Structure 1
Amino acid sequence: MPKKQKFDLVMKFLLALAIGVFVVSNAARAESVNGKFFTGQEYSGEYSISESSNSDGMRVNPVTIRLTINGEKNPLLYTYVADDLPTIRANDMGFLSIITNSGGMEGSVTYDYVIIINGILVSIGTVQTTLHLGKIENIDAQPNKNLTRTKINYLIRQIVKFNPPALSESLNPYSAATLLLLGQGKFLTPEDDLILSVVYRNKEIIDDPVLLQALKKVIDPGDKDAETSAISSKKTVISNRAHFFSAPISSAVDTAYLIKGDAVSLVKKSADGRYWLADYVSSHGRRTEKWLRCEDIDYCR
């Protein structure tokens, strides 16, 4: 075979290979997703992430989500355009989250919260946090303009109540905290405030002063009165096994527990008086701040 013909064949092969790589790299990647919305509706389906360019020529990642609700035949569709490769997660707090981390420690993180309203997948809104050395420097909360302030506040409160134990899971405090910033005014009730104590007492959030200050605009973790404010009195566990609770409700029971004779410091009492937020330090110096039933420390008032 003549050298020129061999060269042409090699070039055609390389060109075809390059086109194939380009097509594969730009093809949408489909992943399955399933979970339950705070409304109790179960969903299953898939999402795909592709690559494209916006009008400014910048690379973006369009997201397409298709969900089947409660086994119905016709799937619901939701689309979103991320400025970097996003993470889609079926959050056990009752929503679907799209989280986009752009630029790492000196970039930004954008949260989009997808829920179902009247048979349609919609976003409650987006929150973008700008980072400096991994800490939040600025926060831009953009509620969905098609939803009223009252509606958004109501939806957030329902999410807070849906699965309180999920608020204390390691991946959730930031998602929960930024979700709250879509609400307007001090819209949370004392009951909500108690449930959310695990969020704004989270160590990572406490170490993020900008986020913590923003949270104070919608939730007030401060003292309500002398009885529920910080209390220095020590109490001793009287039950043989006193389980912790991640929130002051029976369904939020934890696997960890104290035994008879363990000493705790009381922080504040729940609104219904049945639980105390207790500060416990183990013999190894490990600190735990969670709820205990009042009868387990013989302090029901």
Structure 2
Amino acid sequence: MQTLTLNNGVEMPALGLGVFQTPPDETIAAVTAALELGYRHIDTAAAYGNEREVGQALRDSGVPRDEVFVETKIWISDYGYETLHGFDKSAAKLGLDQIDLLILHQALPSDFDRTLDAYRALEKLLADGTVRAIGVSNFMTDHLATLLDATSVVPAVNQLEIHPYFQQRAVLDFDTDHGILNQAWSPIGGITFYPGYGEDRRSVLQDPAVTRIAEAHGKSPAQVLLRWGLQQGRSVIPKSTKRHRIAENLDVFDFELTADELSALDALETGRRGGPEPEAVTLAAYGRAIPEA
């Protein structure tokens, strides 16, 4: 497994299993399959509602704890004073004393002071050794610039929606310039994306440029998209509940895309976001409380 070194020296497997929108009753089987197949990086979040099941699969797997990199996210309802309690809830559900990477799930632009207080709580957890690295998710360049000016620890990771149809190059470049690792959620475009309007509706997995490259390498379109992210130095966290897909997503370290193929995928940018608009995230709209452990 290829690894990436975070800005504080912590090593992280470049590819992990994501469990976004994985129902709790399917999470144990998915994480169990991933660990059996060789995954050593699992990404979850308080808001996913399946941290407890991730923890159960980790315990039942028999894989030593120090061999698995676990990351989770604090939800906006626990920002501010409640962030330390948010960690306690996540750690209890996961059954872990230490979390490898703890990140803020979203910026809260309407109350950025609350976001800053939450990040300062992450800094305390890092200093205490209860987390090994801290970071953010879905932070845009202005959010990052304000955060860097007001806090002491540069985020180790910024987890973003990144795939050929939506590449967020300005944010990627900002992160790279400041030593922040880019991590791609939805790296194979799991949401349906639209390169045009009307009837021109397709997933990036079905794009002719992607399928041509896949055929040339004897790989699947999903494997090509994961390879595109890995070769550009990103961490990728694809999700699946199907064992054969989980295995397929891991089988991306035995081929390499050419410079022309990378350029062809870069050229697919549409500028159309599949996930929520970061500036629209508010407590009123999204701030449902996360249950206690």
Q: Structure 2-normalised TM-score?
A: 0.28
Larger % of strand: which? Answer: 1
Higher relative contact order (CA 8 A, sep 6+): 2
Structure with max Cα Rg:
1
